[in-house]
Amino acid sequence: MTIFKIDRLGSKGDGIGRSGEAMMFVNKVIAGEVIELVHGKLKRIVEASPERQSAFCQYYDTCGGCKFQHWQHEPYAEWKRNLVVEALRSQGIDSEVSPLVDAHGAGRRRVSLHVRQIEGAWVAGFMEAKSHDLVAIDMCPVLVPQLAHAPALAASFGPSLGNCDVMITVADNGLDVAIKAERQAANKHIAQFRVIMENYKIMRLALNDEVVAQLTTPTIAIGPAHLQLPVNSFLQATAAGEDELVRLAKTHLSRAKKILDLFCGVGPFTFRLAEIGKVHGIDLDKNAVASLLQATRFVQGLKPITAVARDLFDNPLVPEELNEYDSVIFDPPRAGAETQAKNLAKSKVKRIVSVACDVQSFARDAAILVKGGYKLGQVTPVDQFKYSAHVEIVGSFTRR
């Protein structure tokens, strides 16, 4: 048994305190609380923070999916905002950061569940925090209503495929399911899969990136476009989050004439920005680019849209290519876009919008642009991963 006080929260949301000479990291606590650990796990809150509240999920105490249901919204939101402030400050940038924007909306529209066998039954859920132990769940309250039966859906593949991970995405015309599994599906399983698909309105089922059954192609509306989703395609976690990121981008680029959309994916920014000016999208994912281009053939009333597949990590655009555009938006993966940012810093592009899902990579890329002569303007943190330590950021840069 160990009793000690939580001094602060780390950048990943863990409470940090000292027990003797040892530094302790504890999940789901609040700074200032006195807690008791038994065998390294939280046993009880000895002295609770006045900011503590009851979690609304029955699995919260053990499930590793959420971190902050126990924390009141106002201090939680300020903590997330400060993650951005401190990351920028660590790079020597003292910028005004707007209050956190709540973009949870109706909930998350996609989920990845682990499927395992426990005591002879196939179940689905999330891993316990800092553990490989599965917490089986019947439902997840942070998901959109269309995913209310997601755990049961995922678990139904266990008997055929064994241990697997099931990604479920809500499309406009049903569900899109992509499974990662070591076991291959025998032909006899296809009939079983079709029964599952009919029961849960699954439009397409992919196993290890290959489509094994399909009723029709899953589609999703992106602005005025109706796009066919590639297998395992990237989407923002919530529809409200995507809308807020787009709103901010359009505000910053309202006077743009010729826009470059880097890491464009299936076009969450591309189609909306084409209401303002011409847009050229670039992404490594060839299937995403192909779907984007196909959708442009059936959209009217937009400025011209073009797109190509290109690896912006190994083959970033050079300043001469960038200078063809008056505005650039880039929304890279979690690692950021360091090499591309260095070339942007050498360009003559008038305005740049950076969208990021990691505060450290955002701050690093921002410092590169500022050093290259850009001024960082409005920075807005967006909370579409509510109850987690993740935060989206949108920052606007103008050439001095």
- Show which residues are catalytic: 357
* Alpha carbon distance 280, 270 (integer Å): 8
Lookup: tokens for 158? 């266990």
Residues 16 and 9: beta-carbon distance below 8 Å: yes
Q: Which two tokens stand for residue 105?
A: 């909306």
- Where is 258: in which H helix or E strand? strand 258-262
Parallel, antiparallel or unpaired: strands 134-136 and 121-127: antiparallel
- Beta strands 15-19 and 2-9 are antiparallel
According to DSSP, the residues that pair with 383 across neighbouring strands are: 102
Structure tokens at 157: 């593949």
Name the DSSP class of 29: -
Distances (CA, A) of 9 to 30, 81, 193, 350: 7, 13, 45, 38
Can you tell me the distance from the alpha carbon of 182 to that of 305, in angstroms, rounded to the nearest whole number? 40
Q: Report d(CA 218, CA 144) in Å as an integer.
A: 17
Task: Report whether 326 contacts 350 (CB < 8 A).
Answer: yes
Which two three-digit tokens encode residue 119? 């005591």
Separation between Cα atoms, residue 265 and residue 340, nearest integer Å? 16
Residue 50, class by beta-carbon neighbours within 10 Å (0-12 exposed, 13-18 middle, 19+ buried)? exposed
